[in-house]
Amino acid sequence: MLNSFLKFILPKRTFERHCRSQAKKAGQKYYEQIDVSRWTQCLNSPRLDPVLKKMFIEYEQSDSAKLTSNYWLVLNKKNVMQLMENGYDNFKQTVALNYFTFLFDKTNLQVNFLEKVLNEEQIQWAKSFSQDSSKKHNKHALFTEKQSAFHNYMTCLLWEYAKGQVSSNLLDQLSEPSLGNPPSIMIDKRGISQDLLNAALEHDSITQGVNEIFGKEKAGWSHVQTIMEIGAGYGRTAYVHLTLHKHLKYIIVDVPPALYISQKYLSQCFPDKKIFSYRPFRDFFQIEEEYKNSQIIFLMPHQIAEIPDHSIDLFLAVDCLHEMRPGEIQHYFERINRLARTFYLTCNTKTSVPYENIELTEKDFAPLPHWNKVFYKQRRVQHNYFEAFYGIEKTGISSLI
């Protein structure tokens, strides 16, 4: 009610600054009105990668467009325009800000939490390290100096926190790829970013669920051969899992331009893995042999209807379901129930879906009756999010793994 009143009496830019400030304090994303008036011009530009243009045209003609909320229909167009303006080479400082990369200020709840749980020595190190003008990471190309400094400070805080939560053996295997010009910092001669650390924390939680279902210690992951992830963004979660578990088959299900970015990015990160690039197909038989032999696969949402039952060991939905309509959430839950043996999700506990006039709460993500809860808890850093892991009872398991 208050925001409706303020929107009525305040100038547009003043109201947007108010909303942005309130969202930052709550640790939430700010969903501003997006101008896509240049969309047709961008789609027809000769500068647009033909692969992305073809992908987008096929998407708009497919059932996947019907499974996309109005918010993401608009945001996808904005992301294409960002790619046109700043290029793929800078996507981690542009498009990624619409995924799970945040620009903070000192009032943000994530910052407040980390400063509360870390000791004074850790906080002082973070301040000193992030403000050292001799460091190459001091200023990120598309951030202001103030944004760069505080982003680096937050990354240092998150690094100190993650070291106490995730095993050093795991963290030692991870380094942020330089592709996409990430807003990362160099620690121990390795690129460290917030995306990398958040993905490592998610992997730690997922490992808890995997071990509970499949076996303790490292044996659990040996039973996970195939992962499917919806709404994967540019592929930060996929990168961490494929780096830590070389044996995995990983299936990305998304819409362009995210599907285009993740396909290009992960193909470059893992040049030795066999890639199944996105392409239209009528039925599974048409692609079966190549699908079986590929290690990283890229699909649009409508195509998962063709994937065989019970063929996915672990299904992931990271920071995406809360930006869908309830009918779409239910649609994916039904697909997950048919396909998967286990399911991990993390969502905002309460949010409004932009352009839809829909409010979502935790009850909108209630599990199906025969899903067995392994855990349901608050996220460790983003306290306005929950994370959950479920085992899904099956009557039979497909041989296609």
What percent of the residues of the chain are helix, what percent strand, and what percent coil, each to the nearest 5?
50, 15, 35
12 pLDDT higher than 80: no
Phi (first) and psi of residue 332, to 5 degrees: -70, -35
> What is the rounded distance in angstroms from the CA atom of residue 292 to the CA atom of residue 290?
5
> What is the rounded distance in angstroms from the CA atom of residue 154 to the CA atom of residue 142?
17
> Looking at residue 357, what is its pLDDT?
87
Question: Do residue 306 and residue 365 come from a single domain?
Answer: yes
> Looking at residue 9, what is its pLDDT?
45
Residue 58 domain-assigned (yes or no): no
Domain region containing 135? 109-194
Q: How far is CA 366 from the centre of its chain?
A: 21
> Looking at residue 216, what is its pLDDT?
65
> Looking at residue 192, what is its pLDDT?
97
Structure tokens at 153: 């400070």
> Residue 101 in contact with residue 183, Cβ under 8 Å?
yes
> Looking at residue 6, what is its pLDDT?
41
> Looking at residue 133, what is its pLDDT?
64
Chosen domain end from 164, 194, 224: 194
Q: Give the range among 71-85, 96-110, 183-197 with minimum mean pLDDT.
A: 96-110
CB-based contacts of 232: which residues, under 8 Å, 6+ apart? 238, 252, 253, 254, 258, 262, 316, 318
> Looking at residue 394, what is its pLDDT?
67
Question: Do residue 184 and residue 286 come from a single domain?
Answer: no
Question: Do residue 252 and residue 377 come from a single domain?
Answer: yes
Residue 37 domain-assigned (yes or no): no
Confidence of residue 108 (pLDDT cuts 50, 70, 90): confident
> What is the rounded distance in angstroms from the CA atom of residue 197 to the CA atom of residue 380?
12
Question: Do residue 265 and residue 375 come from a single domain?
Answer: yes
44, amino acid identity: N
> Looking at residue 105, what is its pLDDT?
72
> What is the rounded distance in angstroms from the CA atom of residue 346 to the CA atom of residue 27?
15
Confidence of residue 266 (pLDDT cuts 50, 70, 90): very high
Question: Do residue 134 and residue 214 come from a single domain?
Answer: no
Which helix (H) or strand (E) is 372 found in, with range? strand 371-378
152 pLDDT higher than 80: yes
Return the number of other C-beta atoms located less than 10 Å from residue 243's C-beta.
19
> What is the rounded distance in angstroms from the CA atom of residue 36 to the CA atom of residue 48?
16
Structure tokens at 243: 């780096």
pTM for the whole thing? 0.88
> Residue 185 in contact with residue 130, Cβ under 8 Å?
yes
Q: Which residues pair with 373 in a beta bridge?
A: 390
Question: Higher model confidence: residue 253 or residue 48?
Answer: 253
202 pLDDT higher than 80: yes
> What is the rounded distance in angstroms from the CA atom of residue 345 to the CA atom of residue 326?
15
Question: Do residue 210 and residue 310 come from a single domain?
Answer: yes
Q: Are strands 371-378 and 190-192 parallel, antiparallel or unpaired?
A: unpaired
Q: Give the range among 116-120, 145-149, 250-254, 365-369 with minimum mean pLDDT.
A: 145-149
Q: What is the pLDDT of residues 292-337, one digit of tens each?
A: 999 999 999 999 999 999 999 999 999 999 999 999 999 999 999 9
> Residue 296 in contact with residue 282, Cβ under 8 Å?
no
For residue 376, what is the domain's CATH number? 3.40.50.150
Structure tokens at 278: 């996105």
Residue 40 domain-assigned (yes or no): no
Structure tokens at 223: 């039973």
Q: Which residues pair with 372 in a beta bridge?
A: 391
Question: Do residue 161 and residue 254 come from a single domain?
Answer: no
Mean pLDDT (whole number) for 63-73: 88
Question: Higher model confidence: residue 13 or residue 282?
Answer: 282
181, amino acid identity: N
> Looking at residue 398, what is its pLDDT?
40
Q: Are strands 226-230 and 314-318 parallel, antiparallel or unpaired?
A: parallel
Which stretches within 61-193 are classed as H helix?
A: 70-86, 109-117, 120-131, 145-165, 168-171
Residue 201: closest CA among 245, 236, 250:
236
139 pLDDT higher than 90: no
49 pLDDT higher than 50: yes
CB-based contacts of 52: which residues, under 8 Å, 6+ apart? 80, 83, 256, 257, 260
Mean pLDDT (whole number) for 8-22: 45
Mean pLDDT (whole number) for 367-371: 95
Question: Higher model confidence: residue 146 or residue 397?
Answer: 146
Mean pLDDT (whole number) for 150-160: 95
Q: Are strands 385-392 and 371-378 parallel, antiparallel or unpaired?
A: antiparallel
Per the structure, the count of domains in the chain is 3
CB-based contacts of 41: which residues, under 8 Å, 6+ apart? none
Residue 169 domain-assigned (yes or no): yes
Question: Do residue 166 and residue 263 come from a single domain?
Answer: no
Mean pLDDT (whole number) for 352-356: 87
Question: Do residue 175 and residue 302 come from a single domain?
Answer: no
Mean pLDDT (whole number) for 365-374: 96
Question: Do residue 259 and residue 321 come from a single domain?
Answer: yes
Q: Are strands 314-318 and 342-348 parallel, antiparallel or unpaired?
A: parallel
Chosen domain end from 179, 194, 209: 194
Question: Do residue 166 and residue 265 come from a single domain?
Answer: no
Residue 53 domain-assigned (yes or no): no
Torsion angle in degrees (nearest 10) through CA of 349, 352, 356, 359 = 60
Residue 400 domain-assigned (yes or no): no
104 pLDDT higher than 80: no
Mean pLDDT taken over the chain: 88
Mean pLDDT (whole number) for 49-60: 93
Residue 66 domain-assigned (yes or no): no
Output the DSSP codes for 178-220.
Answer: STT----EEETTEEE-HHHHHHHHHHHHHHHHHHHHH-STTHH
Residue 28 domain-assigned (yes or no): yes
206 pLDDT higher than 90: yes
Chosen domain end from 169, 194, 219: 194
Question: Do residue 255 and residue 369 come from a single domain?
Answer: yes
Return the number of other C-beta atoms located less than 10 Å from residue 325's C-beta.
18
Q: Are strands 185-187 and 190-192 parallel, antiparallel or unpaired?
A: antiparallel
Mean pLDDT (whole number) for 196-217: 92
